[in-house]
């Protein structure tokens, strides 16, 4: 009897294992077979290299002669390093997590203040305190790259100690403001485009520029070091679309 019971138990176990294998086979059949490429191009597998010697701005970013060619990923990393160096590191406004946390905390504090008291929450304007206004002469902001024609726009960066100076000599220059030497960060020239108005974008990563001799709006990406032109049908819209503070 014991032998028969053991044989019956083994038969049931074999049937269960067989059923499980059938379920696994059916599950494998549900997945479509992976398609293999018709051919492999070895050139596609090689990372595309950028010749740094072909572009003057890219050439200035080379640390040594061995960097005459960089991959696209390395070039993008170098552009970000140059941008962060020019802007004084990663600014606080770019740290989204930190800003979100502090913003939430301030919002909760404001709500608590509103619920705890009543009265007038609007403060009245006041005149500046009386006294002596101290002034001193500092180095010109554009000493390292003065304009050869009339200066048309001067504006400070909204997030960094950087000032932009443009002129009718087609040039746009950025300077690090330190009150002493004001070193130049970068300078570009827009061919046949005497700049009439220029200003930073809201996020501080682009410069918008217009000209009296063209109906084109230039948008210069300071991170990618590229200037893109946007055509406009109406001259009045181009002239008044960019305002300096």
Average pLDDT, the chain: 71
Residue of 61 and 203 predicted with greater confidence: 203
The angle at the Cα of 209, spanning 203 to 211, to the nearest 5 degrees, equals 165
Residue of 3 and 126 predicted with greater confidence: 126
Phi, then psi, of 168 in degrees rounded to 5: -80, 5
State pTM to two decimals: 0.44
Domains identified in the chain and CATH numbers: 49-86 (no CATH), 151-241 (2.40.10)
Q: What pLDDT digit, counting tens, does each position of 38-57 carry?
A: 666 655 545 577 777 776 65
With a cut of 60, say whether residue 120 has pLDDT above it: yes
pLDDT, residue 15, reads 54
| Cβ-based neighbours of 194, under 8 Å, separated by 6 or more | 149, 152, 167, 168, 169, 170, 211, 212, 213
With a cut of 50, say whether residue 59 has pLDDT above it: yes
Residue of 30 and 212 predicted with greater confidence: 212
Most confident of 30-39, 104-113, 229-238: 30-39
Provide the pLDDT confidence category of residue 8 given band limits of 50, 70 and 90.
Answer: low
- Please tell me the least confidently modeled range out of 33-42, 61-70, 206-215, 231-240: 231-240
Q: What pLDDT digit, counting tens, does each position of 139-186 carry?
A: 888 888 888 888 999 999 988 889 999 988 888 899 988 888 889 888
């Amino acid at each position: 009897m014991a032998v028969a019971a053991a044989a019956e138990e083994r038969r049931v176990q074999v049937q269960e294992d067989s059923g499980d294998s059938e379920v696994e086979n059916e599950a494998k059949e549900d997945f479509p077979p992976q398609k293999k490429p018709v051919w492999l191009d070895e050139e596609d597998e090689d990372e595309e290299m950028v010749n740094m010697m072909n572009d003057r701005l890219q050439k200035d970013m080379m640390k040594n002669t061995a960097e005459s060619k960089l991959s696209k990923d390395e070039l993008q990393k170098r552009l970000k390093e140059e941008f962060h160096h020019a802007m004084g590191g990663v600014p606080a406004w770019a740290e989204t997590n930190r800003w979100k946390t502090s913003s939430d905390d301030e919002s909760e504090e404001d709500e608590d203040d509103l619920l705890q008291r009543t009265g007038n929450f609007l403060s009245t304007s006041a005149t500046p305190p009386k006294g002596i206004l101290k002034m001193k002469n500092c180095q010109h902001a554009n000493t390292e790259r003065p304009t050869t024609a009339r200066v048309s726009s001067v504006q400070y960066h909204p997030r960094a100690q950087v000032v932009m100076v443009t002129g009718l000599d087609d040039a746009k220059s950025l300077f690090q403001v330190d009150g002493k030497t004001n070193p130049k960060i970068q300078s570009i020239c827009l061919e046949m485009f005497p700049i009439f108005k220029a200003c930073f974008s809201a996020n501080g990563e682009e410069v918008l520029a217009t000209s009296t001799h063209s109906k084109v709006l230039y948008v210069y990406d300071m991170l990618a070091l590229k200037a893109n032109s946007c055509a406009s049908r109406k001259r009045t819209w181009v002239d008044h679309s960019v305002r300096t503070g």
